[in-house]
Amino acid sequence: MMTASQGGTGLRITVLGEGAWGSTLRRLWQRQGHELRSWTRSRGEAPEPLLLNTDLVVSAVSMAGVDALAARLAPHWPADLPLLSCSKGIDPQRLSTASRIWQQQLAAASGQAGPSLAVLSGPNLADELDRDLPAASVIASHDPHLATLLQRQLAAPNLRLYTNSDPVGTEAAGALKNVMAVAAGISDGLGLGANAKASLLCRGLAEIGVVVDALGGQPTTLYGLAGLGDLLATANSPLSRNYRFGQLLAEGISEQAALNRIGATVEGPRTARAALALAHQLECHLPICEQIEALLAGRVQVREVVSTLMRRDPRAEVTG
């Protein structure tokens, strides 16, 4: 069981995933005196040995790799080893967030509830954290002891951590904001101006709220670091891959060509498709996700996305 460090001794942390986010977290926590080990599929090493002699596992793999990795590790997972999930997105097959996939796989393997889990999310542009620029994030968990312990242990001079008890809302907001960042990139790429983008982000936040509510998340999460905070950072910075992806779409570049140009994981397209499947299951309406998916599928042209959203039936603001 993970315990608070004493006498200046740090945690033994295993980071799964060495993309931009996983590598940034590893370097950040190494500077704080923690003992870090990491794994990436590209090296061909077995991840199972890293579950031994560690205090915390941090999953920072892309959503595409979560299910297979969780299924592989679940039979070997120590009962008292906590997990911190940092992956953002919705799995298109399971229509689940990352921590729910881990929870399902670990519980199925153990026949019990599984170990304690937490989620880390917020406005976390990896490049800025790497340059020691200040940021804040939230650790969400149903286990208040774990959330508080991680808050104390993983904070850094440039990373302030808060806690909440809403992991599903935190993850839903973190996933859907990537779609809204794509839309924001399109808006800026087309030169539509500040009015259009402000309107888009307001309606985007409302759309995220529809999913948070449908999944049983807490309304307050929408206006916290994992909701509004993450949306503002991701939809306004060229450091955001989803925002840059939207800008490339605005130039008339295809989805695959845009992904090739960026050369790294972009969760927005995958999330848009998964969100629509989830919305069908939950019987809710996501107009911005619908238009982004239609553009990616080639059913509409980029400027049609804007006109279609503007032509929607009149409604009261609070109805979505």
Catalytic positions are 177
258 close to 242: Cβ distance less than 8 angstroms = no
Q: How many CB atoms lie within 10 A of CB 255?
A: 16
Kindly tell me the burial class for residue 99, based on how many C-beta atoms sit within 10 Å of its own C-beta (0-12, 13-18, 19 or more): buried
Q: What are residue 211's phi and psi, to 5 degrees?
A: -70, -45
98 close to 128: Cβ distance less than 8 angstroms = no
Strand boundaries in the chain, DSSP class E: 12-16, 35-39, 56-59, 83-85, 117-121, 135-140, 159-164
The Cα–Cα gap between 278 and 257 comes to: 27
